[in-house]
Structure formats: structure tokens, C-alpha cells
Structure 1
Amino acid sequence: MSWGDFLVFYVCVLAVILACRCVPLLALKGRELSPRVSEALGLIPPAAFAALVANDLFDPAGGLSWRQLAAAGAVVVVARRTGSLIWCALVGMAAYALLTLVP
């Protein structure tokens, strides 16, 4: 691929990315979203986090260890009590780190 072809490809991809990100913002500017749409958009961050966690927990090649399940249990408890994504991530990492010290 020559530099000219790469530049054309890069500009096209950049234009599509900007259109997909900027057009909805400009179209919805100054409008109030319905409560159902706002609630649905609010579920995106927890769903993305759950997908990342599920991808690591249920890896068919790696299997499932009791350490992973225990750390996930700690995260579920923190999530129910605080509802904070950052606390869930911190507690999950700390719990898994501490559980790796257990023989």
C-alpha cells in the first residue's frame, strides 16, 4: 500500500468516525431525551464493564478458578452496596491480588 493510498484510507476512516461521533451530538443539541432513553443510555457503562469481566471469567481456554469466582463475588457485593464502577474495579483487583497469595 502506497502512502497516497494509505492517506486516502485514513481520511475516509477519520471522516466516518467523526460523522458517527459528531452528528448525533449536533442533532441532539438542546433537546431533552425521554426518561426511557436516558435510562437506557445509563446502562451502557455497567454493561460494558460486565462484558469485560465476563470475558475474563469465562475464558474457555483458561478455565475457571475459585480465585476468580471469589473475586467476582466480592465485586458483586461492592456493586450492590455502592453502585460505583470505580470501587468495583478496585475491589476486584485487590481481591484477586490477595487471593493469589493464598496457596
Structure 2
Amino acid sequence: MIGQVTVAAATAVAGYDLFRDQTWRVSAKTRKLRGCAVAGSTAAGDCYFELYVDQYHIGRFHNLALGWPTRDHIIPLRGNLVPPGATISAIMGVAPTTNPINVVLY
């Protein structure tokens, strides 16, 4: 696992970087993105974020369920290497409604 984050709905507004205060978003080592799991908010599919490595767009990820993401919620990512010093960002597109958004990056 690369990292995990929980951000309150009031904080995770459109344009907010979910990973902004996380120490693991930048590393001196090469990393490989293997998967992303997203859950939370009020209803499945009501919010999303865009995942980036520096300026490279990896994809758009919607919340798949309420609560905390489990192994069943992992969306596989293949061939996405994160070079040393690169920043991983998760920019909210549509904000969660009332409950926190939870993201686990593998």
C-alpha cells in the first residue's frame, strides 16, 4: 500500500487535492501504482476525483460504496510508475455530499 486518506466532506470541495497533506505523496524511491479504492460520501457514485502523477492524468475514480473501501473496491492500475520525486495528487471533481471520502492507494 502506498497510502490512505480520509477527508471530511466540508474540506473535500471541487479542486481540493485529497493527498495534499500526506507525506507519502512524494518519495525518493520509484513506486508503482497497483490499484485505487474509493468509498464514502452519501451514495455510491455521487462524487469523484482525478488521479495525477505530476501533470500526467491517470484516471477518474468514483466512490463505489459508502463507508471504508475494502479489497472488493480496488480498481487495478497497470503500468503506472511513479518516478522518484514525482507528486501523486487526487483532485476532487465533484465533492462528497455529507460524509467523508476515503481513498486507499496501492
What TM-score comes out, normalization by structure 2 length? 0.23
Q: Which has the larger radius of gyration?
A: 1
More strand by share: 2
What TM-score comes out, normalization by structure 1 length? 0.23
Which has the higher relative contact order, 1 or 2, with Cα contacts under 8 A spaced 6 or more apart?
2
